[in-house]
Structure 1
Amino acid sequence: MSQRVDAPYLDAFAASFLVLGRLHLGHATEGTRRDIYSQLSDWPFWYEPSPLPELADLYADAHAAHTRGIDLLKRSWESHEDDETIRMDQDFLYGVSAHARVSPFESVHVGEEQLVFDTETIQVRMYYSRLGLQAPRLHTEPDDHLGMEFAFLSQGCQQMMTALEQDRTEDYTRVRDIVAAFTAEHPLRWVPATVREAEAQSHTAWMQGVEALSYATFASWCVTLSTQGLVPCTDVVSGFAAPYRGITAAHKGVAAGKFGDPGVPGETRETASAAAPLTGKPGELSEPGNPGDHASENPTR
Structure 2
Amino acid sequence: MDKELLLEWLQGRELIYRFLARLYQEGPGKELLSALVEEQLLVELPASIDNPMLATGCRQMQAELTARAGDMEAYQQELQEDYNRLFVGPGHLEAPPWESVYRSKEHLLFGEETLAVREFYRSFGLESKKKNREPDDHLGLEMEFMAWLSRTAAAKVQAGEEATEFLQGQQRFLKEHLEQWVPALCSDIQKAARTEFFRGLALFTRGWLQVDAAELEAVLEDFCGGEKS
TM-score by length of 2: 0.83
Q: Which runs of 5+ in 1 are unaligned?
A: 49-58, 231-301
Which has the larger helix fraction? 2
Deviation at 1:95, TM superposition (A): 3.6
Distance 1:85 1:65 in 2: 19
- 1:114 aligns to 2:107 (yes or no): yes
1:71 equivalent to 2:63? Answer yes
1:241-272, Cα deviation, whole Å (9 max, x unpaired): xxxxxxxxxxxxxxxxxxxxxxxxxxxxxxxx
Q: What's the % identity of the aligned pairs?
A: 20
Contact 1:66-1:216 within 8 A present in 2 as well? no
Letter in 1 for 2:213: C
- Asked whether the 8 Å contact 1:124–1:144 carries over to 2, the reply is yes
In the alignment, structure 2 segments of 5+ residues that lack a partner are 222-229
Pairing partner for 1:173 from 164, 169, 176: 164
Q: Does residue 1:135 correspond to 2:128, yes or no?
A: yes
> Which residue number in structure 2 is paired with residue 60 of structure 1?
52
What is the rounded CA distance, in whole Å, between the counterparts of 1:217 and 1:188 in structure 2? 11
Q: Distance in 2 between matches of 1:220 and 1:78?
A: 33
Paired position in structure 1 for 2:184: 193
Task: Using the TM superposition, give the Cα deviation of residue 76 of structure 1 relative to its aligned residue in structure 2, in angstroms.
Answer: 4.5
Matched, 1:88 2:91: no
Is residue 160 of structure 2 the alignment partner of residue 159 of structure 1? no
How far apart, CA to CA, are the structure 1 residues paired with 2:62 and 2:131?
Answer: 34
CA 61–36 in structure 1, closer or farther in 2 if over 3 Å, else same: closer
Q: For the residues of structure 2 that align with 1:75 and 1:187, how far apart are their CA atoms?
A: 32
Q: Which residue matches 1:203?
A: 194
Q: Within 5 A, what are the aligned runs for 1:14-53?
A: 14-41=14-41, 43-45=44-46, 46-47=48-49
Give 1:74's aligned amino acid. T
| 1:73 and 1:205 in contact (8 A); partners too | no
Supply the distance in 2 between the matched residues of 1:125 and 1:147 (Cα, whole angstroms): 14
The whole-number CA distance in structure 1 between the counterparts of 2:143 and 2:66 is 23
